[in-house]
Structure 1
Amino acid sequence: MKRKIDLTTIGGLLLCLGGIFAGYLMEGGSLSALLAVSPLLIIFGGTIGVVTITMSVSGLKSMPKLFRNIFTDVTYDFQALITNLCDWTKVSRKDGIVALGNVAETIEDPFVKRGIEYILDGSDYDTIKELLEKEIEAMMERHSAGAKPFEQAGAFAPTMGIIGTVLGLVVILGGLGSAGIEELGHGIATAFLATFMGVASANLIFLPFNEKLKGKSAKEVLYKEIAMQGVLGIQSGVNPKTLRKKLVAYLPESEKDVEANSGKEGK
């Protein structure tokens, strides 16, 4: 597994922001009109504050890691995983379970390594399955908890935008008698800017980040699910060819095509 910069996240952000602001400028808008501090404080300060209320201290400490996961991508080599699992079951069937001891020492993935070690410990099929499933479930719960703040921020931000707009209108109406036309227009624009920022931050940042984390979680779950089925196949002594067919069935169509091509090249 290799971690690299996630160009889709960065490219998507640049594309959506660039499109919105380009359209705004084409309509005669000015970027300086968007640089208002008060709406920023209300939207982001309010949203972050409300989300913080719902989180634990450990959750707050994990936020830098979540942002790293959003802007970087882990490449999972499904073909290599399936090939290794099939090779290991050949070793197990030919030389016995004990021969997996040397294999376990070379495995870098902690999840896969634990699965092989469970086999070496003499655990039965049901026990290994339960242990690995519990680990996957715990990981899914952890990932869900990590993505939750962005989902909540996406729900709260538009409301904060409305609050900012209402507060701005209250200030404008309070000074309506002494305000000039230019000052009044500027105040109304700033007030509605809060609504824009609230809706934009929710739909351009918070909710997409939430979906991004869910997608990355699903990919890791699939990887571990394949690894678990492979370990269980090794434990039960499944024929390597049968095991490969079973594991390939879990792959999305794009990965199946790669698997088919690699299989042809290997013949």
Structure 2
Amino acid sequence: MDVLAYDLKGIALGDGDGSYLTRMQRHRGLQLMARDLRALGFKLPAASSLKPRHVEALLDHWRAARLSAGTMKNRMGWLRWWAAKVRKPNVVPRDNDSAGIAKRAAFAGNRAHVVQGEKLAALPLCHQLALRLQMAFGMRLEESLKFRVGQADKGDRLVMQPSWCKGGRARDIPITHPRQRALLDELRRVCGDGSLIPQGERYIDFRKDVEHETWGVGIRNMHGHRHWYAQWRYQTLTGRPCPAAGGATHERLSRTEKAADFRARMQISNELGHGRLNVTDTYLGSRFAKAQTRTR
């Protein structure tokens, strides 16, 4: 490990920003950048030696490698974090547009799905419950594993704790359907006041076990459960399917329907832990027909 990589390791793993998984992903991303810079002929003596020419060299390298817009945006996020930690935020472009990174396609096909039948039954009970929480409440995998029903269940809503949620963003999720209540009751019988993580086992180890088991039975995209939840909520809130499920796009809606569409999207965004309107295009399909023809 060279000097830069060692310095970045100390910064990334010694800082408490984000969850354990977030810190590890950031650490791996920064180590990759250190290797890229070394391969490009730069020998930075410390993380604080970062300069605009190093950032531009990385961007050129990533463009030449034809990385996707999503991958480049993730790396730019880590690079901005690095620059901020060494008090050099201005060496990195403030936004992705000025860095020449294309916008990520808002919608690339309907990714919503639920897992049922043999695939779900093949999993251990705690793994099944984690997936069912994702489908019933739109939780991320980390949230479903750390979730404690006795702490969260307030009768008409779930109060998600910051320590369970991405970025520490607490939120409420409404309980609106009898199947949701039945799932919470079953979870309480299985886990009591605890989470799905077995006592004495680390979260990251249990997560790896869940990912391994689900992959083994052919479940490839657990994030699709959040898409399914978002689309179910849209149908419930508006009385019609979203564009991703074949519903009308924005220009085909009446004025009243457009207002309902806006309210539903903001509600769903908050329930998913985002709080931004534009992110709902990913889950519900773009509000505008022309955006659906873009490709990644």
TM tier relative to shorter chain: under 0.3
TM-score by length of 2: 0.22
- Tell me the TM-score normalised to structure 1 length: 0.24
Higher helix proportion (structure 1 or 2): 1
Rg larger for: 1
Q: Which has the higher contact order (CA 8 A, sep 6+)?
A: 1
